[in-house]
Amino acid sequence: MREFLLESPLTPEFLTFLKSFGTVKEYPHMKRPYFSFEQEYFITLKGFIGDPGVEVRYRKEFFDLTSDYFHLLLFYAKQGESGIHKMQEITDSIREKMNVRLPPQGRV
Amino acid sequence: MGNEPDNPPLIYLNNAATTWPKPLSVLDEVTRCMKAPFFEAGRSTAGAATDYPSETRRALAGLFHAEHPDHFIFTQNATDSLNLLIHGFVKKQKASFHAITTDLEHNSILRPLNALAGEGRLSLTTVPSEDGYATLREIKKAVRPETRLIVMTHGSNVLGTLQNIQTVADYCARNDIFLIVDGAQTAGQVPINLSSLSSGAFVFTGHKALFGISGIGGFYLNDPEAIAPVRQGGTGTDSRSLVQPDEMPQRFEAGTHSYPGIASLLAGIRFIEREGQDRITTKGRDLAALFIREIANDPNIILYTPSPDLPVISFNIRNLDNDDAGYILAKAYNIITRAGLHCAPLVHDRIDGGKGSIRISFSYLNTPEECRAAGEAVRGVAEGANH
């Protein structure tokens, strides 16, 4: 688990981007608008919209593949539709490497 | 985030894991211990320093009404104690036997027992609890002719229920069954009278309600012969002998003690004596009751023990993972709780389908104001999750 303090606060647009890659849960009526994101085997995120702090958790067995994944999400989120496409290619590439390690019935 | 000026002051409610803050007298004693040259008879020629191990054994005997101060053994923590006792008991047995535990237990009990069961050293029955209590009736149902060991908690670290150990201890004494009681959640929190536990062992840790620092714990053993030592090494005594001394406490203690840990434990016990054990117990129950009044009527909060005996309260919030609730409480309200399984997986299978819970646990040093603030925060999170 790592906590990052980003240069700028997390935005609703970033959450919209995340929805292409996993499950986003939003709780806008909390004291601070809270969200969590989970992409199985990749990462989970917790944070507040409008806040620069974010908690990132990785699966230990895939950390070598996913340690940069959050930063890639942040980078490609700024590129709109083309960013989604590029990020999807990266995700697929990582997933292929994960599947080599996973048993056949657990492949993603 | 916790240091932002608009954030409320930190409220620490994870005392069932480790109490914080510690009394100032504990911090002072640790500093005093570290400033003095190391002293222990047989291990150092430094004089005029406090013999912390001996003094602390006497203090423990006073607090827990135990007959033999030297039968208190220092370990790293309750987990370490339970491992020494469980493995030591098994080592003493000539053949495989039957052991009983309950579904309330911490992994510090479940894992050693299941490891030994996996090796064929014992067979294990886990009895179900009823509303957070392990009853003698259920335990008796599980007893077989070859039952030799029962290991169970004195107080649930998830539900805050206090188990009726005396009835189990009396039954064990009558039936030649060794009883190991895990007092991790009760030592320092409620009065304990070891003179009425005629057989078996009582386990404690220093870093919870005894207000010591982490890294110090122990156990009390009435009959040292019931347990085989599983560690050997230097004791500072009888050094020419190549076998571990049989006398207590050296029979179970090898190597240099954690002096700062023992010093903190001594100061923690002195703090409890000054404040009064009964007062500490009462305040814990009052804080728990106050917090429960704050949240009990909220339909979006699922409370697992409406009236706990210890200041330990587990709950969940509808439509919100406990992990998310813990994060929101920490980051948006500056309230430290604990979320998840609390190292006691079987009890969660019974109460929440194995998903875990949010646990709030108070110490004597928490205030009613903190309690109300926590109640308000939890209600706020429940409202936010169900808007």
User: How confident is the model over B35-84, as pLDDT tens digits?
Assistant: 988 887 777 877 767 899 999 999 999 999 999 999 999 999 999 999 99
Provide, rounded to the nearest whole percent, the portion of chain A with pLDDT above 90: 89
pLDDT tens per residue, range B281-295: 999 999 999 999 999
Beta bridge partners of B302: B316
pLDDT digits (tens, 9 = 90+) for B327-363: 999 999 999 999 999 999 999 999 999 999 999 999 9
Task: List the structure tokens of B375.
Answer: 């109640």
B384:A31 CB<8 A: yes
Burial profile A33-56: b = 16 or more Cβ within 10 angstroms, e = fewer: bbbbbbbebbbbbbbbbebebbbb
DSSP B216: -
d(CA B129, CA B298): 27
* Cα gap B19→B126, rounded to integer Å: 30
Minimal Cα distance from A4: which residue of B? B1
**Touching A: B residues 296-325, CB under 8 Å:** 320-321, 324
Structural contact between residues B168 and B136, judged by C-beta atoms closer than 8 angstroms: yes
What's the whole-model pTM score?
A: 0.94
Is it true that the peptide bond before B191 is cis, omega within 30 degrees of 0? Answer: no
Helix (H, G, I), strand (E, B) or coil at B288: helix
**Which secondary-structure segment (H or E) carries A98?**
helix A80-101
Residues with Cβ < 8 Å from B167, sequence gap 6 or more?
B136
Bridge pairing between strands B217-221 and B201-205: antiparallel
- At residue B373, the pLDDT reads 98
Please check whether residue B330 touches A, CB under 8 A.
Answer: no
Which segments in chain B show pLDDT lower than 70? 1-6, 48
Contact between B359 and B317 under an 8 Å Cβ cutoff? The reply is no
Query: Coil, strand, or helix at residue B271?
Result: helix
The beta-carbon neighbor of B333 closest among A31, A51, A55 is A31
- The token pair that represents B325 in the structure block: 């609730």
